[in-house]
Amino acid sequence: MGVNDFKVIVKKENILHNYHYLKKLKNKNIIAVVKANAYGHGIENIVKLLTEEGCDYFAVSREYEAKKILNFQLKNIKILILETIENLDLLKQNSNLEMMVNSLSDLKNILSNGISTKQLHLKIDFGFGRNGILGKRDK
């Protein structure tokens, strides 16, 4: 068997067990992170499975992943894009889409383009210097 010859088997029952366990643990809503094709497990299969179980909030890394979920035409779900995107029309056309904002300059641009604050999440840098709004030092 070569390096690229492997198979991962993910049981539907295990995914559902984990989802219900986490949901029951704190009785809170769950944001299912399905970036990178649901970590290689198939974004369509995972999103549809979790939607059937009542999950209505998903997070992705990229705009194209959000578009893919939108194409499933699922009702009453929200999608959080974990980075700032340039295609603001996509947010204007889809009130169920939300995105992270990484800088104050991005925030100003986004707000000046008429995007609702209800669709925005601020990513705060707490000193690691990787990404996010740094407060007074951010421009």
Q: Kindly report, residue by residue over 13-28, the tens digit of the pLDDT.
A: 999 999 999 999 988 8
- Mean pLDDT across 116-139: 81
Q: Which of 107, 74, 71, 75 is nearest to 88 (CA)?
A: 107
Q: Does this model's pTM top 0.85?
A: yes
DSSP string, 25-56: HHT----EE-HHHHHTT-HHHHHHHHHHTT--
What are the residue ranges spanned by the domains of the chain?
12-134
Q: How far apart are CA 107 and CA 66, in angstroms?
A: 20
Q: Which amino acid makes up residue 104?
A: L
Q: How far apart are CA 98 and CA 60, in angstroms?
A: 10
Residue 137 has pLDDT above 80, yes or no: no
**Rounded mean pLDDT of the chain?**
91
- CATH code of the domain occupying 12-134: 3.20.20.10
Residue 37 has pLDDT above 60, yes or no: yes
